[in-house]
Structure formats: C-alpha cells, structure tokens
Amino acid sequence: MDTLRGLPEATILSEPSDLEPFLRDESHVQGVLPMAVVKPHGPLALRELIRRAKQEGFGLVPRGAGTGKAGGCVPTAQTVVVDFSEWPGDIQVSPQDLCLSAPASAPLREVKAAAEAHGLFYPPDPNSWESCALGGTLATNAGGPNACKYGMTRHWVLSVDALLEDGEIHTFGIHSVKANAGPALGQLLIGSEGILGFIVGATLRLLPKPREFATLLLPVKRWEDLLDLPGRLCGAGYLPSAFEFFDPAVLAELRAHGPEEARRLPGEALAILEFDERGCTSEPFLEGLLALLGPMADGLEIAADERQRKGIWAVRRMTSAFLKERHPKKVSEDIVVPRSRLREFFEGLDHLGLPAVTYGHLGDGNLHVNLLTAGETDPARLEQQLMELFRLAMSLGGTLSGEHGIGLAKRNAFLALSDPAQIRALRAIKQALDPQGIFNPGKVI
C-alpha cells in the first residue's frame, strides 16, 4: 500500500484476506474493510503514522485483542487499524510502591499473574481476562465481578503513556497514589475508547493478595427475593468482592442446553457470592451472614476448597460464551441501575415485555440484558427495544453502559439520551486534543 510504504518499525498487512479478521470484535457490529492494518513495534512507527494520517486524511483505529463488546475497535471508512499486539515492553512490578508497569500489548492474564507472583493483586477481572489485552481494558474502563467491591479499571491506574496528535508519547501521572498537580489528564484517557489518543502503556496500583475466600452458591426459590439482597447486604455492613446472578430464563437455558455441571444447577434463580476480607471464613462471619440470609440460606453451598471455588466460578465464566454459541445473533447490553432500584428495574422490564434474559453483576447493579432473538427481529423494532431498555435504566438513575463502553454499538443511543451539555463538553475536548479527527473516527461522539 503506497500510503504506508516505508513505514518504520512496523508490520503492515494489506491483503484483503489478512484484513478480514479485523472487521469485528465480540459485539454484533461489523466494520468496513480497512485500508491496512499496522502493527507498530516502536515510537517511530506511531510518529510517522500520525504525520501521514494528518497529511493524507485517513483515520486510525486502535485494536488490542478484539474482545470488546461495543464495536469500538472495528474499522470505519478510510481508516487504518493500529494493532498493538506486537507493541514492545515488559511487565515490571515494584512491591515497594505497590504498583506494576506494563505495555498495552500485555495480556491481562499475565498482568494479574505478575502481580500474584509477588503476593499482590490487580483487581479488575472482565469476563475476557484470560484473552484480552491490557490496553483494551484501559481504553474501555473494563469492569468484571470484582468491581462490586474494587471498582472499575480507572480506579487502579496511576499513570498512562499515551500517543497524542503531535505524534509523541506522553506520560500522565506518577507511580504513586498522590498526584494533585492539576486535573488528572490520564484519567481522561481511561475509558475514552481511543478517541482522544492511544494508550500504549500504564502503571497500575496493586494491593496485597487476599488470603481468604468465602465462595457461596446461593439458589433461591423465589426470584424476586434475590433482588433486595444486594442492598440488604451492604446496609448490614457486608461488602462482597463479587455478587453474580442468573435470572430464571438464563438458568433454564443453562439447564436445558449447557454443560453437565450447569444442568444440575438448583433454584428458580441463582447467585454467586464471594467475600475476600480477612476473617470471612470464620464462624462468626459466616454465622452473621447466614442470619442475614435467613430462609434464603436453605440450599446454600459454600466452597470447601479452591477446587470447589473454581468449579462454582467456571459456570459463571462460561455463560456469555454459551449464550453466544446458542444464539449467535443475540445482542447483549450492559445497563446499570442502583442496587436500591433493582426490583423496580425488573418490574419495568416485565412491563415492557422485552424478550430478554439477564445475568451479571447484581452486586453493583450492572446487568447483562440479552435479547436472544435480535437476529430475527426487524432492525427498527430492535432499535426501539434497545432504546426502551436504556430509557428504563436511566429513569431509575442508571446508565446505558456499565463496562462495555459506547463504541459504535451504542453511539446513537448515547447521543440521543445523554445530557446535551455532556456531549458538547466531550466534543470540545475531542476538538482540542484531536483537531483533525484522526483518532478512532466515528466512535462514541
């Protein structure tokens, strides 16, 4: 490709057969064939890419492992995909500073393993943690079950190294928790999905690794009883490190068509509760928890060892992939409502009559609402169903995305439902940092 001929420190893909795998991520969105895919190996490639993009008028689309669920990394017209999978750098852990530095290309599983090797803990754990890249989790502000207690990715970022429109890599932040010299510009980049600049590395905050886990499988006889439990737990001073759930429809799917271990799952609905604080396996802690649960504790299973703990989590981790395999054209949304309004949300969902099944992170109100028949639904009707879902969540003080981001998949809804002042501010920031619009054009705003 002449536009990229002689690009230094880079591998360039231009054959249509080589470009095809970059048309999709894990969402239902499909992009258009990019002009090329560039795999940069150093800053010279990025500097020259920026120069040529500004000179010749094409856009740059960042990509990590392609596990995103909002179409944020799929190419739009007249763009070059910048695949950071070969970006250089090592994972470096500083136990004294309780932090870790890593390139955007580092697999998240290796980041977490490097911390664990030093007896430390990096909490963010999106469902794709075994296959996603660190850079993607930073760009989308990834969450996961542990967000119930530990928050999102942005809460664990001390500094970021980012490519800006001048073609240079700049560092925002320091390797310490206290940095108050003006607004935290690095935080502006976390969750921005590459529309302001490309994150190429970061320094992450760590914690001492938890030493105890109390992992509970909680079947419930009445689905509605589960909806008040997150608020009751927090109100009583119990903060689980994770609180996952399956509604009756998801549980029915798993029992009818899932793997053998899923077919034996009990209850009308089901929750997984995990605690990781010191003393959570002690008799006083568990007795107090059982007293709070009351009759709901009938049928409760507590993992006796790490093998049983992993067995409980295995079913939760495979749920998304199982539903995708069963319903390849489904649409999965990740709305959020406050814990105190979960019952109202599901009453509203029933009133709307949407053909939805729901699972996910009940402990922080981040619900994965799946429209399994989306592929057979008229596109205009599907768009209407999604807008009804988003409006319901927002009417209860929630939002239309908890961890997947906006990308292309939710852009129209985001623009239609957000406060106009928010959109104006975001566009002003975009114009200031990327005046020629070369960074991930057409996404988010």
- Give residue 425's pLDDT: 97
Give the sign of the dihedral formed by CA 377, CA 380, CA 381, CA 387. Answer: positive
The rounded distance, in Å, linking the Cα atoms of 349 and 368 is 13
The rounded distance, in Å, linking the Cα atoms of 310 and 322 is 18
- Could you please report the per-residue DSSP string of 324-362? HHHSTT-EEEEEE--GGGHHHHHHHHHHHT--EEEEEEG
Of the chain, the end-to-end C-alpha distance in Å amounts to: 30
The rounded distance, in Å, linking the Cα atoms of 245 and 223 is 10
Beta bridge pairs of residue 172: 160
12-58 pLDDT, tens per residue?
999 999 999 999 999 989 999 999 999 999 999 999 999 999 999 99
- Give residue 344's pLDDT: 97
Q: What is the chain's mean pLDDT, rounded?
A: 95
Residue 399 DSSP one-character state: B
Domain borders along the chain are 2-86, 92-208, 214-395
pLDDT band at 287 (very low <50, low <70, confident <90, very high): very high
229-249 pLDDT, tens per residue?
999 999 999 999 999 999 999
Asked whether the predicted pLDDT for residue 1 surpasses 70, the reply is no
Could you write out the three-class secondary structure of 267-322? CCEEEEEEECCCCCCCHHHHHHHHHHHHHHHCCCEECCCHHHHHHHHHHHHHHHHH
Burial tier of 426 (Cβ tally within 10 Å: 0-12, 13-18, 19+): middle
336-361 pLDDT, tens per residue?
999 999 999 999 999 999 989 999 99
The rounded distance, in Å, linking the Cα atoms of 198 and 394 is 30
- Could you please report the per-residue DSSP string of 75-104? --TTEEEEEGGG-----EEETTTTEEEEET
The rounded distance, in Å, linking the Cα atoms of 274 and 276 is 7
The rounded distance, in Å, linking the Cα atoms of 58 and 106 is 27
Residues 323 and 369 sit within 8 Å (Cβ to Cβ): no
Q: How far is CA 403 from the centre of its chain?
A: 4
The rounded distance, in Å, linking the Cα atoms of 293 and 37 is 54
- Give residue 415's pLDDT: 97
Q: How far is CA 4 from the centre of its chain?
A: 32
Residues 185 and 154 sit within 8 Å (Cβ to Cβ): no
Cα–Cα distances in angstroms (integers) from residue 77 to residues 196, 241, 348, 365, in the given order? 19, 42, 39, 36
Residues 313 and 215 sit within 8 Å (Cβ to Cβ): yes
Please calculate the CA angle 50-430-416 and round it to the nearest 5 degrees: 130
Q: How far is CA 444 from the centre of its chain?
A: 15
Angular region, 104: left φ>0, alpha ψ -120 to 50, beta rest:
alpha
Crossing angle of helices 306-326/248-257, nearest 10°?
Answer: 90
Asked whether the predicted pLDDT for residue 438 surpasses 70, the reply is yes
- Give residue 264's pLDDT: 86
187-230 pLDDT, tens per residue?
999 999 999 999 999 999 999 999 999 999 999 999 999 999 99
85-139 pLDDT, tens per residue?
999 999 999 999 999 999 999 999 999 999 999 999 999 999 999 999 999 999 9
Asked whether the predicted pLDDT for residue 414 surpasses 80, the reply is yes
Q: Single out the residue of 214, 247, 228, 393 nearest to residue 323, CA to CA.
A: 247
Phi, psi of 386 (to 5 degrees): -65, -40
The rounded distance, in Å, linking the Cα atoms of 324 and 133 is 21
- Give residue 131's pLDDT: 95
304-320 pLDDT, tens per residue?
999 999 999 998 988 98
- Give residue 315's pLDDT: 87
Phi, psi of 156 (to 5 degrees): -120, 10
Cα–Cα distances in angstroms (integers) from residue 48 to residues 168, 194, 296, in the given order? 10, 18, 61
Those residues whose C-beta lies under 8 Å from the C-beta of residue 164, and which sit 6 or more positions away, are 170, 197, 433
Amino acid residing at 127: N
- Please compute the mean of the pLDDT values over residues 262-269 and round it to a whole number: 89
**Encoding tokens for residue 307?**
């093998």
Pick the CATH number of 92-208 from 3.30.465.10, 3.40.950.10, 3.40.50.300, 2.40.110.20: 3.30.465.10
**Encoding tokens for residue 374?**
């989306």
**Encoding tokens for residue 57?**
């008028």
Assigned fold of 214-395: Vanillyl-alcohol Oxidase; Chain A, domain 3 (3.40.462)
Residues 222 and 198 sit within 8 Å (Cβ to Cβ): no
Helix (H) or strand (E) holding 411: helix 411-417
Classify domain 2-86 by CATH number.
3.30.43.10
